[in-house]
Structure 1
Amino acid sequence: MRLSCLMLLAVVCAGALAQEAKKDPYLDAAASAAQVQALQGRTDPVVRKAVADAMAAEVPPPPLLQSVPEFSSAKSDVMTAAFIEAKVPDCLHSEGLKRQPTFFLMGYLALPFIPIAALRGKCN
């Protein structure tokens, strides 16, 4: 029962929105070929020449494939090192506790810190 009421309400709202979408006669008007020809004959030759000169003086943008690279090799090396450092380590490997403080405990005494690091999201 509720589902049918919701569907009926959705259909009524959609119909109301469709009726509200009115067309603007100024913006939606299409010019015929005769009107375009009539307007082209009314333009000033000085304006036409100024527009052509401005378009000729405008420098075209460089093609995308031949653009200057954003990163040099030094910047690329720095970014690569930063991404490697930011990667979350595996808990059961040698780098697993690099972000989890184990205080002064090392070796087997640091084993209880592995589940703590996993719960805190410091390793996977």
Structure 2
Amino acid sequence: MMRLSGWMWMLLLCAGAHAEDAKKDPYLDAAASPQQVKVIADRADPGIRKAVAEAMAAEPPPPPLLQSTPAFSVAKSDIMTAAFNEAKVPDCLHSEGLKRQPTFFLGGYLALPFIAVAALRGVCN
């Protein structure tokens, strides 16, 4: 019975420790007022301010979000659809069953043995 109460105390202490972690940190969560930002900006070296301004001017502005080109256009959709259709493994007994199995110059009923070869190679289902 004593061990059970010990475990209960340990659980209560762990729960209390997690409750203390939820408190806000006054240093990390503090927001600087505009006056504090101005004081800090006035302390900055003029050379550093000039270098930052030049770097920001040299960097091209990002394109507006609503006027950017779509990532998935109709042309890309057609290319992806064709690629998926080509990658799909065909059924051995249908029209495209031998599209990845060479039958050399044989066709029609003479190509029937190549269906078994294609199935063994795994190029059709």
User: What's the TM-score once normalised by structure 1's chain length?
Assistant: 0.45
User: What's the TM-score once normalised by structure 2's chain length?
Assistant: 0.45
